Amino acid sequence: MPLEWAGGQNNLGIVLVDLGSRESGTAKLEEAVALYREALKEQTRERVPLEWARTQNNLGIALERLGRRESGTAKLEEAVAAFREALKERTRERVPLEWAMTQNNLGNALRGLGERESGTAKLEEAVAAFREALKERTRERVPLEWATTQNGLGLALCDLGKRESGTAKLEEAITSFGEALKERTRERVPLDWVGSLGNEGIALMYLADRRRDASMAETALVQINTAFETMRDGGNALSAAYYGRQLPRARALVARLRGQ
């Protein structure tokens, strides 16, 4: 029963990605990638197109998370390719929410590439992918998924805003994080809430620097510190480290703007 075997490989891969995402190493993510590639030997596009697309999507997720932890861009480029493959069968007309999910995942991978490149093309592609996802991932239909995509859009816009003069992209990023926080509440999803709060804080920090706004810088510092402490206390070491790295810059900005 080759298709049942392939389905089992796919399911095991999902578990390994979940476990691997919580660990700092890459062994479980690499194992998941290998399992998905094995599954695709039986789950071919010709035989089972939607299952093939699902496994391509899952392969892309594993590659994207691996790519975040490795230097270079090879794994992130492979992730983008896998998501684009999935979208050949996961069309908006056929499976709108699965299409939107893969567009969101594509946005994440493109943003990862954009962070490592000096230009803005990949970040602009990421913004476009997130905006596509939001056409089906509406707040009314899937509120938490809508908020996840708003958060991803905010991150891509913030990355663009750091590289561009002016403040338009940073302002758009803050709007997106604010949208995400309408559904990512502290009571409902505390770690997602504080993640978006911290991300908004980082965008506010860059905007405060450009506007020379001490009050905004102080708000940014409070939000980033809240994200750091909550992630640390919640055992999310990777996220805590990320927000922790932003704190010296935020403190220095407050000190500089207070003393100007």
Task: Judge if 155 and 242 occupy the same domain.
Answer: yes
What is the domain extent for residue 151?
138-260
Name the domain boundary from 71, 104, 137: 137
Task: Quote the CA–CA distance of 205 and 253 in Å, as a whole number.
Answer: 8
Which stretch of 48-52, 169-173, 183-187, 256-260 has the lowest confidence by average pLDDT?
Answer: 256-260
Q: H or E segment at 3?
A: helix 2-21
Assign residue 119 a region (left: φ > 0; alpha: ψ between -120 and 50; beta: otherwise). beta
Q: What is the tens place of the pLDDT at every residue in 3-36?
A: 776 566 766 666 667 767 777 788 888 888 898 8
Q: At what angle do helices 96-116 and 143-163 cross, to 10 degrees?
A: 20
The kind and range of the H/E element at 143 are helix 143-163
Segment 207-223 mean pLDDT: 98
Domain co-membership, 98 together with 161:
no
Taking the C-alpha atoms of residue 122 and residue 160, their distance in angstroms, rounded to an integer, is 10
Tell me, yes or no, whether 120 and 235 share the same domain.
no
Helix (H) / strand (E) element for 95: namely none
Domain end residue (candidates: 137, 162, 196): 137
Do 151 and 225 sit in the same domain of this protein?
yes
Same domain, 124 and 215: no
Domain boundary among 137, 164, 185: 137
Q: Report residue 17 as tokens.
A: 């990605």
Q: What's the pLDDT tens digit per position in 92-143?
A: 999 999 999 999 999 999 999 999 998 999 999 999 999 999 999 999 999 9
User: Is residue 116 domain-shared with residue 155, that is, in the same domain?
Assistant: no
Total domain count for the chain? Answer: 2
**239 and 147, same structural domain?**
yes
Whether residue 131 is found in the same domain as residue 259: no
The enclosing domain of 115 has a CATH number of: 1.25.40.10
Q: How far apart are CA 62 and CA 82, in angstroms?
A: 10
- For residues 125 and 144, membership in a common domain is answered with no
Q: Are 46 and 94 in contact (CB under 8 A)?
A: no
Residues 105 and 168 in one domain: no
Structure confidence by residue, pLDDT tens digits, 141-198: 999 999 999 999 999 999 999 999 899 999 999 999 999 999 999 999 999 999 999 9
